[in-house]
Amino acid sequence: MRKLASAFVFYVLSIVLLPVSILGYVIWVARLLAAKASGVSTSAEAPLSARWAMHNFGVREDQAANRLLPILPGISRLGMSLAFWPTVFAHRFTGFVPKTFRYPFEGEVPPQAEASARVTFFDGAVDRFLPGIDQFVILGAGFDTRPYRLPQDTPVNSFEVDAPKTQAVKRGVLDRGGIDARRVAFVPADFEKDDWLAKLVEAGFDPGRPALFLWEGVTMYLDRDAIEDTLSKVASCAKGTLLAFDYFTTETLKSGKLYWRYGRAAAKAVGEPLKFGVDSTPPSRERLSELLRSCGLALLEQHGLGREIKNKRAWGGFAIAIVQ
């Protein structure tokens, strides 16, 4: 009963303060669109925002995310404050955490909570596999902060591979935020143009030893050739190498539902159109497994998003592939 009361008061406060949040988002988006040339990837900002919110809700410690988000180029501090303050205030007043920002995330994942739910998935992959692997590679790293959350004595070599512009911005804000990045090797590369694996090896990566690769929030923005090339390069690494990634299906790219039509339009508007989806023909798990096998990988684990029932298809998923 107490939880219900807290939830009720939380949502009442959120509704009362909704005009403030809307104003904040309008300012935030306007500033973001005006600063598109800054090199900040909008798709990279979304998961950082989710981790920032979790930190401020007190459910997931992430000092690096807390420092980085407010100082990103194109971020309006006023817009950010107005957008988030009502929700954070309602939380601190009631102690209630909305499902979207709960950690670890549990239960069915609605599309609007995908960015938050995948935090739990990728953190889980790091917690489970990194203790037995000493090479940690984040593909399309964006503003991922996981290397900066590892204990100082963790015997792991960390690498971040990303587009040159985004990576340059990140290195700048890491320095401004006072975050020690000396244990991370930065590898600038365009997945659709460059041999990122060759550059990774030049930076000190050993393809003859197992590695844990994270590929978060990237596949949907690449063309199929780049997807297959990346999977094949991971497959060329040592046996036992793991790749944790998320993906959309073709349902997301084709759906006429308002949510997905808006999502595709918004992605295109910021210059990051959705390009790739795993075949959604049921069972989509098999379609994903076929893709991985064709590139030399085996599907170790998969969590589908969206129910595959009559007249409905999965819209995405989280997965882990392995080099056997």
Residue 292 and residue 298: Cα distance in Å, rounded? 6
Instruction: Number of helices (H) and strands (E) in the chain: give both, helices first.
Output: 12, 7
Q: What is the mean pLDDT of residues 191-215?
A: 96
Domain boundaries, position 76: 2-101
Q: Which of 64-73, 164-173, 262-271 has the lowest mean pLDDT?
A: 262-271
The answer to whether residue 106 sits within a structural domain is no
The pLDDT value given to residue 54 = 93
| 156, 48: one domain | no
Rounded to 5 degrees, what are φ and ψ at 234? -60, -40
Beta strands in 257-297 (DSSP E): none
Q: Per-residue confidence at 38, pLDDT binned at 50, 70, 90?
A: low
DSSP assignment string, 78-89: HHHHHHHHHHHH
Length of the chain: 324
**How is residue 116 annotated by DSSP?**
H
Whether 321 shows a pLDDT value over 70: the answer reads yes
| 133, 32: one domain | no
| 77, 127: one domain | no
CA distances from 80 to 85, 86, 143, 273 (A): 8, 11, 17, 24
Give per-residue pLDDT as tens, 71-130.
988 788 888 889 988 998 999 999 999 888 899 999 889 998 998 899 999 999 999 999
Q: Per-residue confidence at 40, pLDDT binned at 50, 70, 90?
A: low
Residue 241 and residue 321: Cα distance in Å, rounded? 8
Average per-residue pLDDT in the chain?
92
- For 310, the 3-state DSSP assignment is coil
User: What is the b/e burial string over 73-108, where b = at least 16 CB atoms within 10 angstroms of the residue's CB?
Assistant: ebbbeebbebbbebbeebbeebebbbebbbbebeee
The answer to whether residue 297 sits within a structural domain is yes
The pLDDT value given to residue 29 = 77
CA distances from 56 to 22, 65, 83, 91, 282 (A): 20, 10, 14, 10, 39
Q: Per-residue confidence at 296, pLDDT binned at 50, 70, 90?
A: very high
Q: What is the mean pLDDT of residues 176-182?
A: 94
Sign of CA dihedral 87, 88, 89, 94: positive
Percent of the chain at pLDDT > 70 equals 97
Contacts of residue 309, defined as CB under 8 A and 6 or more positions apart, other chains included, come to none
The answer to whether residue 276 sits within a structural domain is yes
* Domain edge (last residue) among 62, 77, 101: 101
| 82, 162: one domain | no
* Domain edge (last residue) among 101, 121, 141: 101
The pLDDT value given to residue 39 = 56
Contacts of residue 24, defined as CB under 8 A and 6 or more positions apart, other chains included, come to 78, 79, 80, 81, 82, 83, 84, 85
Residue 44 and residue 40: Cα distance in Å, rounded? 8
Give per-residue pLDDT as tens, 264-294.
998 888 788 999 999 999 999 999 999 999 9
| 85, 144: one domain | no
Q: Give the closest residue to 68 by CA, choosing from 79, 58, 55, 82.
A: 55
| 74, 199: one domain | no
The pLDDT value given to residue 1 = 79
Structural domains counted in the chain: 2
Residue 150 and residue 184: Cα distance in Å, rounded? 11
Q: Give the closest residue to 119 by CA, choosing from 172, 67, 209, 49.
A: 49
Q: What is the mean pLDDT of residues 301-313?
A: 90
Contact 238, 213 (CB under 8 A): no
Q: Per-residue confidence at 22, pLDDT binned at 50, 70, 90?
A: very high
Q: What is the mean pLDDT of residues 55-60?
A: 92
Q: What is the mean pLDDT of residues 224-229?
A: 96
Q: Which of 109-123, 149-163, 225-239 has the largest mean confidence?
A: 225-239
Side-chain-side CA neighbours of 41 within 13 Å: the count stands at: 23
Whether 37 shows a pLDDT value over 60: the answer reads no
The pLDDT value given to residue 35 = 60
* Domain edge (last residue) among 51, 66, 101: 101
CATH number at residue 265: 3.40.50.150
Helix (H) or strand (E) holding 318: strand 316-322
